[in-house]
Amino acid sequence: MTHLLEVRDLTIGLPQGADRPHAVDGISLHLDAGEILCIVGESGSGKSITANTIMGLLPRELPVLGGDILFEGERLLGLSAEALRSRRGRRMAMVFQEPMTALNPLMRVGDQIAEALAVHGRGGEARQKVPELLAAVNLPDPASIARMHPFRLSGGQRQRVMIAMALALEPALLIADEPTTALDVTTQMQILKLIREIQERRGMGVMFITHDFGVVAEIADRVAVMQYGRIVEQGPARDVLNAPQHPYTRALIAAVPHGRSTQGQAIRPAPVLEMKGVTKTYRRGGWFGAKVAVKAIHDADFVLNKGETLGLVGESGSGKSTLARCVVRLVEPEAGEILFHGEDLRPLSRQGWRPYRKRIQMVFQDPYASLNPRRKVGDAITEGPVAHGADPKEARRRAVELLELVKLDPSAIERYPHEFSGGQRQRIGLARALAMDPELLIADEPVSALDVSVQAQVLNLLAEIRQRLGLTLLFITHDLRVAAQICDRIAVMQRGAIVEQGPTASVFGAPRHGYTRALLDSIPGRSWTPPVSSELA
Amino acid sequence: MRIFWRNFSRNRGAVFGMVILVGVAMLALLAPVIFPGSPWDMVGAPFMPPGEMGLLLGSDSLGRDVAAGIAHGARVSLLVGAVSTAAALLIGVTLGAVAGYFGGIVDDLVMRFTEFFQTIPSFVLAILLVAIFTPTIGSIVFAIAIVSWPPVARVVRAEFLSLRSREFVQASEVLGKSRFSIVIGDILPNTLSPIVVLSSLMVASAILLESALSFLGLGDPNLMSWGFLIGSGRSVIRLAWWMSVFPGIAIFLTVLSLNLVGEGLSDALNPRLARNRGAKP
CB of B186 less than 8 A from some CB of A: yes
The answer as to whether A395 is a domain residue is no
CA distance A496 to A317: 8
**A306 or B271, which is more confident:** A306
Cross-chain residue pair B178–A353, CB shorter than 8 Å = no
Question: Is residue A247 located within the same domain as residue A279?
Answer: no
The predicted-structure confidence for B71-89, as pLDDT tens digits, reads as follows 988 988 899 999 999 999 9
The answer as to whether A125 is a domain residue is no
| CATH (domain of A47) | 3.40.50.300
Direct distance between the N- and C-terminal alpha carbons of chain A, in angstroms, rounded to an integer: 44
The answer as to whether A240 is a domain residue is yes
Question: Is residue A281 located within the same domain as residue A223?
Answer: no
Mean pLDDT of A457-470: 88
Question: Is residue B210 located within the same domain as residue B193?
Answer: yes
Q: Reply yes or no on whether the pLDDT at A261 is more than 60.
A: no
CA distance A506 to A529: 19
Question: Is residue A455 located within the same domain as residue A332?
Answer: yes
The confidence score (pLDDT) of residue A1 equals 59
- Name the amino acid, one letter, at B172: S
**Nearest Cβ partner of B171 from A354, A364, A374?**
A364
Provide the sign of the torsion angle of the four alpha carbons A429, A434, A438, A443, taken in this order: positive
Question: Is residue A27 located within the same domain as residue A80?
Answer: yes
Q: Which domain holds residue B88?
A: 79-223
The answer as to whether A421 is a domain residue is no
CB of B162 less than 8 A from some CB of A: no
CB of B272 less than 8 A from some CB of A: no
Question: Is residue B120 located within the same domain as residue B135?
Answer: yes
| CATH (domain of B204) | 1.10.3720.10
Return the residue of B nearest to A382 by Cα. B175
**B4 or A260, which is more confident:** B4
The confidence score (pLDDT) of residue B276 equals 46
The answer as to whether A119 is a domain residue is no
Q: Which of A431, A388, A382, A325 is nearest to B167 (CA)?
A: A325
The predicted-structure confidence for A131-159, as pLDDT tens digits, reads as follows 888 888 888 888 888 888 888 888 888 88
Question: Is residue A250 located within the same domain as residue A275?
Answer: no
The DSSP line for A374-411 is: TS-HHHHHHHHHHHTT--HHHHHHHHHHHHHHTT--GG
Phi, psi of B103 (to 5 degrees): 65, -165
Q: Reply yes or no on whether the pLDDT at A534 is more than 80.
A: no
On whether the CB atoms of residues A200 and A166 are closer than 8 A, the answer is no
The confidence score (pLDDT) of residue A532 equals 63
Question: Is residue B109 located within the same domain as residue B161?
Answer: yes
Question: Is residue A250 located within the same domain as residue A355?
Answer: no
Question: Is residue A279 located within the same domain as residue A326?
Answer: yes
- Name the amino acid, one letter, at A27: I
- Name the amino acid, one letter, at A528: W
The answer as to whether B235 is a domain residue is yes
Question: Is residue A343 located within the same domain as residue A465?
Answer: yes
The answer as to whether B74 is a domain residue is no
The answer as to whether B150 is a domain residue is yes
**Number of domain units in chain A:** 2
CB of B190 less than 8 A from some CB of A: yes
Q: Which of A363, A353, A358 is nearest to A386 (CA)?
A: A358
Mean pLDDT of all residues belonging to chain B: 86
The confidence score (pLDDT) of residue A442 equals 94
Q: Out of B177, B205, B223, pick the residue that ends a domain.
A: B223
Question: Is residue B234 located within the same domain as residue B163?
Answer: no
Question: Is residue B197 located within the same domain as residue B256?
Answer: no
Question: Is residue B190 located within the same domain as residue B83?
Answer: yes
The answer as to whether A141 is a domain residue is no
Question: Is residue B87 located within the same domain as residue B214?
Answer: yes
> Chain A partners of B175 at a C-beta cutoff of 8 Å?
357, 361, 383-384, 387, 432, 436
What does the angle CA A484 – CA A404 – CA A377 come to, to the nearest 5 degrees? Answer: 95
Cβ neighbours of residue A128 under 8 Å, at least 6 residues apart? Answer: none
Question: Is residue B85 located within the same domain as residue B218?
Answer: yes
Q: Which of A528, A529, A492 is nearest to A507 (CA)?
A: A492
Mean pLDDT of A454-480: 89
Mean pLDDT of A211-217: 88
On whether the CB atoms of residues A130 and A123 are closer than 8 A, the answer is no
Question: Is residue A16 located within the same domain as residue A45?
Answer: yes
For residue A120, what pLDDT band results from cuts at 50, 70 and 90? confident
Q: What is the DSSP letter of A264?
A: -
The predicted-structure confidence for A9-42, as pLDDT tens digits, reads as follows 999 888 777 778 888 888 999 999 889 999 998 8
Question: Is residue A305 located within the same domain as residue A444?
Answer: yes
CB of B184 less than 8 A from some CB of A: no
Mean pLDDT of A255-270: 65
For residue A535, what pLDDT band results from cuts at 50, 70 and 90? very low
Cβ neighbours of residue A213 under 8 Å, at least 6 residues apart? Answer: A40, A241, A252, A253, A256, A452, A525, A530
**A60 or B145, which is more confident:** B145
Question: Is residue B113 located within the same domain as residue B169?
Answer: yes
The predicted-structure confidence for B247-274, as pLDDT tens digits, reads as follows 999 999 999 999 898 888 877 776 554 4
Mean pLDDT of all residues belonging to chain A: 86
The predicted-structure confidence for B159-183, as pLDDT tens digits, reads as follows 999 898 888 999 998 888 888 999 9
CA distance B18 to B23: 8
Mean pLDDT of A66-81: 85
Q: Reply yes or no on whether the pLDDT at A330 is more than 80.
A: yes
The answer as to whether B15 is a domain residue is yes
- Name the amino acid, one letter, at A414: E
Cβ-based burial of A273 (10 A; exposed 0-12, middle 13-18, buried ≥19): buried
Q: Reply yes or no on whether the pLDDT at A267 is more than 70.
A: no
CA distance, residue A456 to nearest chain B CA (Å): 23
The answer as to whether A106 is a domain residue is no
CB of B167 less than 8 A from some CB of A: yes
The DSSP line for A138-189 is: T-SSHHHHHTS-GGGS-HHHHHHHHHHHHHTT--SEEEEESTTTTS-HHHHH
On whether the CB atoms of residues B203 and B264 are closer than 8 A, the answer is no
Q: Reply yes or no on whether the pLDDT at B154 is more than 90.
A: yes
**B269 or B98, which is more confident:** B98
Helices A452-469 and A247-255, axial angle in degrees (round to 10) = 50
Beta bridge partners of A222: A37, A236
Cross-chain residue pair B173–A361, CB shorter than 8 Å = no
Q: Out of B174, B201, B223, pick the residue that ends a domain.
A: B223
The confidence score (pLDDT) of residue A533 equals 53
DSSP reduced 3-state for B205: helix
The DSSP line for A277-299 is: EEEEEEEEEESEEEEEEEEEE-S
The answer as to whether A137 is a domain residue is no
**A476 or B36, which is more confident:** A476
Question: Is residue B102 located within the same domain as residue B203?
Answer: yes
Question: Is residue A347 located within the same domain as residue A278?
Answer: yes
**Number of domain units in chain B:** 2
CA distance A63 to A53: 10
The answer as to whether B252 is a domain residue is yes
Cross-chain residue pair B175–A357, CB shorter than 8 Å = yes
Mean pLDDT of A324-335: 89
Question: Is residue B212 located within the same domain as residue B240?
Answer: no
CA distance, residue B167 to nearest chain A CA (Å): 4
Q: Out of B223, B244, B267, pick the residue that ends a domain.
A: B223
Q: Which domain holds residue A53?
A: 1-85+206-255
The DSSP line for A402-452 is: HHHHTT--GGGGGS-GGGS-HHHHHHHHHHHHHTT--SEEEEESTTTTS-H
Question: Is residue B136 located within the same domain as residue B94?
Answer: yes
Return the residue of B nearest to A376 by Cα. B186
- Name the amino acid, one letter, at B173: E
